[in-house]
């Protein structure tokens, strides 16, 4: 199942800015299609399960 970046915050309870920061700074798996970001729900679930959302490496 693919979802758009702007639709991700609703099921995960985070802001759009958080999603874009995860993509930019924490390596969240996403694919840019024109102006949209596409994400696969199962990949995001796995990314979160591995603790990447809580990983503070590289952030100030």
Give the model's pLDDT for residue 10. Answer: 59
Residue numbers of the domain that contains 36: 2-54
- pLDDT score of 60 more than 50: no
pLDDT in tens, 11-58: 667 777 887 888 888 888 888 888 888 888 788 888 888 888 775 554
End-to-end CA distance of the chain: 33
Give the model's pLDDT for residue 47. Answer: 84
What three-state secondary structure class fits 12? helix
Q: What is the pTM of this model?
A: 0.60
CA atoms within 13 A on the CB side of 54: 4
Give the model's pLDDT for residue 8. Answer: 63
Q: Is residue 59 part of a domain?
A: no
Residue closest to 36 by CA, chosen among 49, 13, 19, 57: 19
Q: Is residue 60 part of a domain?
A: no
Q: Is residue 27 part of a domain?
A: yes
């Amino acid at each position: 199942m693919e979802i758009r970046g702007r639709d991700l915050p609703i099921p995960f309870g985070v802001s759009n800015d958080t999603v874009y920061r995860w993509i930019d700074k924490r390596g969240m798996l996403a694919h840019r299609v024109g102006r949209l970001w596409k994400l696969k729900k199962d990949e995001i679930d796995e990314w979160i399960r591995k603790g990447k959302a809580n990983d503070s490496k590289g952030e100030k």
